[in-house]
Amino acid sequence: MRGTDETSGSLFSYVDLEARIPARHPLRKVRQVV
C-alpha cells in the first residue's frame, strides 16, 4: 500500500477485550474451565 496511512488508524480497535465482555457474561466461565 502506497501513500499516507491517515485512514488506517480507524481500521483497528485498541479497546481491551476484558473491558468489552461484562463481568457476568457466560464466556468468563468458559474461559475458567478451558
CA dihedral 24, 30, 32, 34 (to 10 degrees): -170
Would the pTM of this model clear 0.75, i.e. be above it?
no
Q: What share of the chain is helix, strand, coil (3-state, %, to 5)?
A: 45, 0, 55
Q: What is the pLDDT along the chain (34 residues), one digit of tens a residue?
A: 566 656 666 677 788 888 888 888 888 888 778 8
Continuous H helices in 1-34: 17-20, 26-33
- Residue pointed to by grid coordinates 457476568: 24
